Each structure stands twice: as structure tokens, then as C-alpha cells.
Amino acid sequence: MTPNGIPIGDVLLASAALFTIGLAGALLRRNAISIFLSIELMMNAANLAILGYASALHSLEGQIVVFFVIAIAAAEAAVGLAIFVALFRHTETIDVNKINLLKW
């Protein structure tokens, strides 16, 4: 039970739901940017789980870790978008099914 009365099980359920949605998006979408957003979603699902546990256990460290994750996610977004831009210049598409240069 978190201090503001939400049971930890509910938080984890929400986190799992978010994660599954993100996973499905990452696996099923063909647009690279959509995949990227789905991955962000999975990361935030993880953040939510960490936060739920941190507040239930009255731990400050968990909340600090989440700040780090958010900062790194921002940096990752910049790098990822740069990759997509470079990829688009090269192949004129960001459809991941068409980007298969490493195929046998």
C-alpha cells in the first residue's frame, strides 16, 4: 500500500499493462518512430513499477533512480532520432521491414 492509498498491486497492474502495450507496439508497428515511442512506453512502465515500490517501501533511492532513467531516456531520444534521420537520408524510408541490409 502506497502512502496515498493505492494498493501496490494496482500500480504493478498498470505498469504491466503499459509494458505489454509498448511491447506489442514495438513488435507490430512498421514505422520506426512508432517503434521508438513504444520502447519509451515500456521504459516508463518500468519507471512506474519502480516508483510504486519506492513509495510503498518509503525509499527515496527508487525515486532518484527514476529521475536518472528519465534523463537517460531524453538523451536516448536525441540519439535515436538522429539515427532515424541518417537512415532516412540513406534509404528514403523509415519502414523497418524495408531496412534489412544485414540479411544473408
Partner 1 sequence: MTVALWVIPALPLGGFLLCLLLGRRLGKPFVSAVGAGSVGLATIAAWTRLVPYLTAGGAPVVEKVAPWIAAGNFSVDLSLRLDALSALMVSFVTFVGFLIHVYSIGYMSHDETDAGYARYFAYLNLFLFAMLVLVLANNFLLMFVGWEGVGLCSYLLIGYYYEREYAADAGKKAFIVNRIGDFGFLLGMFGVFSLFGTLDFDSVFSQAAADPGRFAPGLTVVCLLLFVGAMGKSAQVPLHVWLPDAMAGPTPVSALIHAATMVTAGVYMVTRCNVLFRLAPDAMYVVAIVGAITAIFAAIIAIAQNDIKKVLAYSTVSQLGYMFLACGVGAYVAGMFHVLTHAFFKACLFLGSGAVIHALHGEQDMRRMGGLGRRLPVTYRTFLVATLALAGIPPLAGFFSKDSILTGVFAAHHTVLFSLGLVTAGLTAFYMFRLVSLTFAGEFRGSSEESAHVHEAPPSMTVPLVILAFLSAIAGFVGLPEVFGERANRLAAFLDPIFPAIGPRATETGHALPATTEWLLMGASVAVAVVGILIAWNWYAKRAGRPAERAAAAFPALYRLIGEKFRIDELYDVLFVRPFLGLARILWKVVDVLIIDGVLNAGAFIVELVGDVLRFLQTGNVRNYALTFLLGIVALLLIVLAG
Q: Can you read off the three cell numbers belonging to residue 69?
A: 532513467
Phi and psi torsions of 31, nearest 5°: -75, 125
Question: 32-71: which residues touch partner 1 (CB under 8 A)?
Answer: 35
Residue closer to partner 1 by CB (options 38, 44) is 38
Torsions phi, psi for 95 (to 5 deg): -80, 115
23 lies in the site for partner 1, by CB under 8 A: yes
12/26 with CB nearer partner 1: 26
Contact code string over 83-102 relative to partner 1, x by CB under 8 A: -------------xx-xxxx
77 touching partner 1, by CB under 8 A: no
Q: Answer yes or no whether residue 79 interacts with partner 1 by CB under 8 A.
A: no
Instruction: Annotate 32-93 with DSSP letters as a single string.
Output: HHHHHHHHHHHHHHHHHHHHHHHHHTT-HHHHHHHHHHHHHHHHHHHHHHHHHHHHHHHHS-
| Site residues, partner 1 (CB under 8 A) | 23, 26-28, 35, 96-97, 99-104
